[in-house]
Amino acid sequence: MGLSAAKRDYLIRILRHRLCGQARACPYCRNTGGLTLLGRKKLIIEILRCDRCGLMFRYPTEEVAENEARYQEIYDAPEVTRLPDDSELARYLSEGFPGNLDFRARIGALRALRSGGRILDYGCSWGYGVRQLCDAGFAATGFEISRPRARFGAERLGVRIIDSELAVSALAAGSFDVIFSNHVIEHLPDLGKSFELFARLLTPGGLLFAIIPNFTGRAAREGRFWSWIGQDHPIAPSHQFLGRALLEHGFEVAHFGSSPFDHSMLAKLRAGQFDRLDRDGDELLILAWTAQAAI
Ligand SMILES: [Zn+2]
């Protein structure tokens, strides 16, 4: 059949959920009533949109505990963690991080809004983003649930990385000025709970700066959506959905832009022209602020 072991295990879990009659409910608002079928994948997987909150998601979904176990299992496997070897790491540190690991343009966009402060890189993998944020002048801490990746970052990049959900949840309110997150939110099983955690960890007037696939952008509408939702992305939060969800869970203002992170975006961010940001690119930029402290 040519199915990878991971894909086979995924289909078996999905099939088991269907046979066990997992409730067909929205993973965000728990609505079981109006759910619109957008399409199917591999016969047994339905892609649905909740009529109440607008979240697009796959059914069957995965239970929260199952999701956490799966992340440890998958990302602990050495062939998937893809930690750099000694010579690669030395090259990255002297010449800069390559390709998807290069956050210069993203950090440039962030610096158009904040030039420094305490920042949490939520879902930081082996810490290459934490390193770059520190180099750009932020007091950066990472959070990563894969312990081998977290350990690698701490030991080899000399950055601070928290490696348990319990520890990050136990941090004091207002611990950060910014929460940065690159391609993580679309993997979170309980968005409402995560947004409340982010809002609590941010200081008043703090900024969530997050990037996810743009599930309603041009490429998604032209068909890429169907390869983006599924095994790796159980949910497809659009800016239309997020604009409401963030305000329901601790944030006061939300704006959205999209890639590329170029001069045009930076100029609009610097000028506070958030309504003029393009929203059709492949990656969605989420900007959300907590309420300012009462004077
Ligand atoms: Zn819903």
229-275 pLDDT, tens digit per residue, is 887 788 999 999 999 999 999 999 999 999 999 999 999 999 999 99
Let me know if residue 2 belongs to a domain: yes
Bridge partners of 40, per DSSP, are 46
- 233 and 134 co-located in one domain: yes
Rounded distance from Cα 194 to ligand 1 centre (Å): 16
Let me know if residue 66 belongs to a domain: no
Rounded distance from Cα 282 to ligand 1 centre (Å): 24
Per-residue pLDDT of the chain (295 residues; tens, 9 = 90+): 467 777 777 777 767 766 666 778 999 999 998 999 999 987 788 999 999 999 999 998 765 545 555 555 544 444 445 899 999 999 999 999 999 899 999 999 999 999 999 999 999 999 999 999 999 999 999 999 999 999 999 999 999 999 999 999 999 999 999 999 999 999 898 999 999 999 999 999 999 999 999 999 999 999 999 988 887 788 999 999 999 999 999 999 999 999 999 999 999 999 999 999 999 999 999 999 999 987 6
Rounded distance from Cα 241 to ligand 1 centre (Å): 9
Q: Which domain holds residue 152?
A: 83-289
Let me know if residue 11 belongs to a domain: yes
Residues 104 and 149: beta-carbon distance below 8 Å: no
Rounded distance from Cα 198 to ligand 1 centre (Å): 20
| 3-state SS track over 67-128 | HHHHHHHHHHCHHHHCCCCHHHHHHHHHHCCCHHHCCHHHHHHHHCCCCCEEEEEECCCCCH
- 126 and 1 co-located in one domain: no
Rounded distance from Cα 234 to ligand 1 centre (Å): 14
62-91 pLDDT, tens digit per residue, is 655 455 555 555 444 444 458 999 999 999
- 129 and 234 co-located in one domain: yes
Q: For position 161, which CATH number holds?
A: 3.40.50.150
Rounded distance from Cα 199 to ligand 1 centre (Å): 21
Whole-number mean pLDDT of the chain?
90
- 184 and 90 co-located in one domain: yes
Give the SS3 label for residue 260: coil
- 156 and 106 co-located in one domain: yes
- 105 and 238 co-located in one domain: yes
Q: What is the CA radius of gyration of the chain?
A: 19
Residues 190 and 237: beta-carbon distance below 8 Å: no
- 56 and 189 co-located in one domain: no
Rounded distance from Cα 34 to ligand 1 centre (Å): 9
Rounded distance from Cα 57 to ligand 1 centre (Å): 9
Of 220, 182, 175, which is closest to residue 198 (Cα–Cα)? 175
Let me know if residue 154 belongs to a domain: yes
CB-based contacts of 112, cutoff 8 Å, min separation 6? 266, 269, 270
Cα–Cα distance for residue pair 19/282, rounded to 1 Å: 36
Number of folded domains that form the chain: 2
Let me know if residue 78 belongs to a domain: no
- 55 and 112 co-located in one domain: no
